[in-house]
Structure 1
Amino acid sequence: MREKDTAEADLQAFFRLRVSRQAHKGASILMPEKIDLSAIQTEFGAGNYVVLATYFLAMLIIGIRAGRQTRGAAGYFTGEGKIHHVLVGLSLLGTYLSALTMMALPAMSFGKADMTWSIQIPFLLITAVVITRFVLPRYREAGCLSVYEFLEQQIHVSSRLLASVAFIALSIGRMGLVLYLPALSFSIVTGFDLMTTLVVMGIIVTFYTVLGGIRGVIWTDAIQVVIFIVGALVSLVYMFDADVNFLAIANAHHKFRVFNWDTRITEVTTLWLVLETVFQTIRIYATQQDMTQRYIAAESTEKANRSVWISILGYIPLGYLFYFIGVALFVYYTANPDPNVELLARAEKLDSLYGYFVVTHMPQGLAGLVIAAFFAASMSTISSSMNSCSAVCVEDFYRRFSRSEKPDDHYLRVAKSLSLVWGLLTVVMGILLMEITRAQVVWSKTMSISTCGMLGLMALAFLPRRIHPAAAVTGFVSSYVALFVMMYCLRLNPTVGFVFPIEKGTGVNFLLWPVVGNLVCFFVALGVDTLLPNRGAEPE
């Protein structure tokens, strides 16, 4: 019993160390202590490799078959607007989920973050109402393949290009991150070379995305979501130990704590999480091409709205499920200490903990299914981003600035070539991210930086009168000025308040970056617009 108590105390000490590093709220991402993880030895087994190989082969076959049904660039990007709304909804869900949900959320609730972040989940319902009542119908009416063309219709081409570049920057970082996470977990728990895993995953997802177009992406997304859900539910069964008082351990360590009513802008609190959720999820569903492209793939506006509700109502239980999986893992390893878990904690690689449990505690075949679910969560997001980045490049740059209209087959060849380029860049970005830690925090910061004023800019396009193009650009640029101030200049000194320039202290929490950035974009643009001539015209 003494050894067990000591092991538990050591594990808790590692969690406290991890949280103390997270308490630094500046813009930098701290590098972990260099820990040799080669000591983590597991046996993946032939049966699991067979399951993985079967999964990858199935994705390739689906991509090839879908590609045979694709006709022209419009079909490559929209599926001729004839895809069933349930498939579209599952694809939206798969794109929104990603490997971050399956791996990073359990890691957060496993550590000292408890269930605080889960407060975000029910507020997705606000997003569903806003998108289906106001946003999606306007997009369908406008008939834009690229959502950023809507900005040109309502404001000016400059706004369209700014938003397009911001989306591409976001997608490059996102694709690399979600490729890296399951590859890292697989590498740690099997000993398989990380770079080889990244390259193999990248090749497979690029291959079926290039061949299948949006139809292949949506079909594979839908299947991957099913694998994702089944894998999570099956793994949860193995986390419960009949000899362990689950609720007693979880409650003793406050693992079900949800609310943090602190109002300091330097902390991760309930209020800031809710605000960040509302701003970021509306931005995701309203301004990201990989989401909006599905709206025109559905058969009608009504059915596209159903797709949005399917994705959001589907995410709510899944989000809670993965936070709960983190709590279940905490209880299990508190009752059954494992030195390898201590190594993962010290190396700040707890994003790989779920995969480690699966490989070491589940039988052959089932473990392979859950690991396949990790890859499915990643690949559904990557394939969507690849196809949408190609759509943005073709529609917002190549076709928009082409001196003459070319045959549709020409644009199809360009689209496939661009998808291949995005696949290569995804692998490169995944390799560059091999040293990061705390994926959910990194991702939140990446979103905040790359899309700082996107929602504010798009909101300007929904106003009843046209905003002056210079005002919109000024607002967008101002959002990044505000972001720079929050990241690098504004620091809270406990004794004298906010100070300039940088001093030791705690900066504005990154959850508030998108909130402030988008508000600055919107209101600065409105203010500048009042000072400029030619105001008040209705959008064309």
Structure 2
Amino acid sequence: MQLPIIDLVVFLIYMLAIVLFGASFYFKKRSADDYIRGGGRLPSWAIGMSIFATFVSSISFLALPGSAYLSNWNGFVFSLSIPVAAILAVKFFVPLYRGIKNPSAYYYLETKFGSWARTYASICYLLTQLARMGAILYLLALPMNALFGWSIPLIILVTGVSVLVYAILGGFEAVIWTDAVQGIILITGALTCALILVFSMPEGPMQMVEIAKQDQKFSLGSFGISLSEATFWVILVYGLFINLQNFGVDQNYVQRYLSAKNDKEAVKSTLLGSLLYVPVSLLFFFIGTALYAYYQAMPGLLPEALSSIEEADKIFPYFIVNGLPTGMTGLLIASIFAAGMSTISTSINSSATILLTDHVKKYLRPNLSGKGEMKVLFLASFFMGALSIVVALAFSGVTSALDAWWALSAIFSGGILGLFLLGYVGRNIRRKFAAIGVILGVLVIAWMSLSPSLAEEQSWSSPFHTNLTIVFGTLVIFLTGFLLSALYHHRNGKK
């Protein structure tokens, strides 16, 4: 399938413009502080849009409509947990990190449990970001390859290098401002697509609602108490833990808390970015449902090759190419790339910050000069970006990249939230008991993540739904560290 010239021009102009815009911030940087947090002078609305854009990756842009098309709005329950996590974030986490005034999210863990905790958490974060960036680049390339025949390695290379250029040259300010632009393009594109879908129904907009209601497409899932299925409660609890991890210990978010002008602005940006995702994610689910109704009403428009369950994530891109006016298709494809690029640029900058603060300055060059810090940040950004491209290319041999990403992220990020909560909520927690908790928690996470596909005997396989992995892992770490410390203090007569 050939992309019309006008759409291709729109898409290429967008890609070139965003790279040049981001790279232009190279001439505004003056120090490592500018590179890491924009000098703490960024407006709250731009930071909020960046937080929102970090939430939305190309995985969300394609997978959420695909999920709604295939089933219902069960996945939207995840978004319902965000307001709770956001309120906890602005009440506890934002003041905590702005009070510490350290660019690393993991310095706090060092103050509680020693250097091992900071190093462990930072390494887990870096591995998670590599897996995340690689999965996003690869999953971004799949529908473009299927629709246009574009080479998957070529898409990965072009997208990865484009982000790498402006993330390296522009630093944190480039990340924030390009995220803001990309977030606006993303929302505009999705809204336009939803309106066109609804008003393209043969019998009018209400036909979409009738078809969706008839096939229970608006359902939020079962309200049963099963722990082996994706019930309403399983998704809600999963969402709460994931979002607490995002707001509490993810460098991507902590760096944004520190970039605001003051505490009030930091709170405003956090609430804007997190709460904006709720209606936008609802919009994505609505698009998926509208696509279902659209192709139910006009089944002849959908090729038989896309009618299988495995092809659900390609339905939205197919409509973008075949159901939108010329020119609008280019904008929507740009929106998909915007969703991926904003997340990747964030990960590159935040990962470089962690490499500088938690590894180079801590262990190799504690008294590094300002110029030396900038050199490390440039090299670290290049290293992480280039490595993410390699990881994306390696995903080509994986049967299900999305399943692989979920498994890897659960293992690599395992334990950080539990360790953070242990330090934040617990009092007088012994370091060795925290370490024991982390070891046990990671073992539980590895078992729940890998046993369903690796265990030969069903008795060894985890009976729980995979979304509960982070829940049980976090609870094991927290309860182990807390209870062992409480028992120790009790035996030794200490409070």
Shift of residue 439 of structure 1?
6.3
**Structure 1 equivalent of residue 32 of structure 2:** 73
The 2-side partners of 1:168 and 1:181 are apart by 20
Pick the aligned partner of 1:59 from 18, 34, 43: 18
Pick the aligned partner of 1:97 from 56, 59, 75: 56
Shift of residue 117 of structure 1?
1.4
**Structure 2 equivalent of residue 293 of structure 1:** 255
**Does 2:349 match 1:349?**
no
The 1-side partners of 2:152 and 2:309 are apart by 16
**Does 2:282 match 1:320?**
yes
Shift of residue 271 of structure 1?
0.9
Structure 1 residues 160, 341: closer, same or farther in 2, change over 3 A? farther
Structure 1 residues 321, 143: closer, same or farther in 2, change over 3 A? same
Q: TM-score, normalised by structure 1?
A: 0.86
> Is the 8 Å Cα contact of residues 181 and 351 (structure 1) preserved in structure 2?
no
**Structure 1 equivalent of residue 475 of structure 2:** 519
What secondary structure does 2:429 align onto?
Answer: coil
What secondary structure does 1:261 align onto?
Answer: coil
What secondary structure does 1:136 align onto?
Answer: helix
> Is the 8 Å Cα contact of residues 124 and 281 (structure 1) preserved in structure 2?
yes
**Structure 1 equivalent of residue 165 of structure 2:** 207
CA-to-aligned-CA distance 1:32-53 (integer Å, 9 cap, x gap): xxxxxxxxxx331111111111
More displaced stretch, 185-194 vs 294-303? 185-194
**Does 2:390 match 1:428?**
yes
More displaced stretch, 529-538 vs 443-452? 529-538
CA-to-aligned-CA distance 1:132-188 (integer Å, 9 cap, x gap): 001110110011100001111222111111111111111111111111222222221
**Does 2:145 match 1:183?**
no
Shift of residue 325 of structure 1?
0.5
Structure 1 residues 535, 161: closer, same or farther in 2, change over 3 A? farther
**Does 2:186 match 1:228?**
yes
**Aligned runs of 1:216-365 on 2, under 5 Å?**
216-240=174-198, 241-244=200-203, 245-338=207-300, 341-346=303-308, 348-365=310-327
The 2-side partners of 1:341 and 1:173 are apart by 33
> Is the 8 Å Cα contact of residues 65 and 212 (structure 1) preserved in structure 2?
yes
Structure 1 residues 380, 404: closer, same or farther in 2, change over 3 A? closer
> Is the 8 Å Cα contact of residues 92 and 291 (structure 1) preserved in structure 2?
yes
Pick the aligned partner of 1:174 from 99, 121, 132: 132
The 2-side partners of 1:526 and 1:132 are apart by 25
What secondary structure does 1:147 align onto?
Answer: coil
The 1-side partners of 2:36 and 2:28 are apart by 12
The 1-side partners of 2:487 and 2:309 are apart by 54
Pick the aligned partner of 1:405 from 359, 363, 367: 367
> What is the one-letter code of the residue matched to 2:372?
H
**Structure 1 equivalent of residue 153 of structure 2:** 195
More displaced stretch, 59-68 vs 371-380? 59-68
**Structure 2 equivalent of residue 508 of structure 1:** 464
What secondary structure does 1:467 align onto?
Answer: coil
**Structure 1 equivalent of residue 423 of structure 2:** 461
> Is the 8 Å Cα contact of residues 529 and 535 (structure 1) preserved in structure 2?
no
Shift of residue 73 of structure 1?
1.5
The 2-side partners of 1:178 and 1:224 are apart by 16
Shift of residue 446 of structure 1?
3.7
CA-to-aligned-CA distance 1:169-220 (integer Å, 9 cap, x gap): 1111111111122222222111211111111001100000000000000010
Structure 1 residues 270, 529: closer, same or farther in 2, change over 3 A? same
> Is the 8 Å Cα contact of residues 80 and 236 (structure 2) preserved in structure 1?
no
| C-alpha RMSD over aligned residues | 2.4
Structure 1 residues 115, 253: closer, same or farther in 2, change over 3 A? same
> Is the 8 Å Cα contact of residues 490 and 508 (structure 1) preserved in structure 2?
no
**Structure 2 equivalent of residue 24 of structure 1:** none
Give ranges in structure 1 of 5+ residues lacking alignment.
Answer: 1-41, 492-498
CA-to-aligned-CA distance 1:460-501 (integer Å, 9 cap, x gap): 22136342221221111111122234345699xxxxxxx996
> What is the one-letter code of the residue matched to 2:444?
A
> Is the 8 Å Cα contact of residues 341 and 353 (structure 1) preserved in structure 2?
no
**Does 2:490 match 1:528?**
no
What secondary structure does 1:71 align onto?
Answer: coil
The 2-side partners of 1:337 and 1:440 are apart by 28
**Structure 2 equivalent of residue 17 of structure 1:** none
> Is the 8 Å Cα contact of residues 152 and 159 (structure 1) preserved in structure 2?
yes
Shift of residue 248 of structure 1?
2.4
> Is the 8 Å Cα contact of residues 105 and 440 (structure 1) preserved in structure 2?
no
The 1-side partners of 2:116 and 2:14 are apart by 43
CA-to-aligned-CA distance 1:414-440 (integer Å, 9 cap, x gap): 111111111111111212223557666
Structure number with the higher helix fraction is: 2
Shift of residue 456 of structure 1?
0.9
**Structure 1 equivalent of residue 44 of structure 2:** 85
Query: How many percent of aligned residue pairs carry the same amino acid?
Result: 28
Shift of residue 221 of structure 1?
0.3
> What is the one-letter code of the residue matched to 1:95?
T
CA-to-aligned-CA distance 1:363-415 (integer Å, 9 cap, x gap): 22110000000000000000000011111111001101135402111111111
> Is the 8 Å Cα contact of residues 410 and 449 (structure 2) preserved in structure 1?
no
The 2-side partners of 1:184 and 1:173 are apart by 17
**Structure 1 equivalent of residue 121 of structure 2:** 163
Structure 1 residues 151, 536: closer, same or farther in 2, change over 3 A? farther
Give ranges in structure 2 of 5+ residues lacking alignment.
Answer: none
> Is the 8 Å Cα contact of residues 488 and 502 (structure 1) preserved in structure 2?
no
The 1-side partners of 2:228 and 2:462 are apart by 6
The 2-side partners of 1:403 and 1:119 are apart by 46
The 1-side partners of 2:47 and 2:381 are apart by 20
The 2-side partners of 1:345 and 1:467 are apart by 55
More displaced stretch, 425-434 vs 337-346? 337-346
Q: TM-score, normalised by structure 2?
A: 0.93
Structure 1 residues 102, 502: closer, same or farther in 2, change over 3 A? same
Shift of residue 528 of structure 1?
2.6
> Is the 8 Å Cα contact of residues 25 and 174 (structure 2) preserved in structure 1?
yes
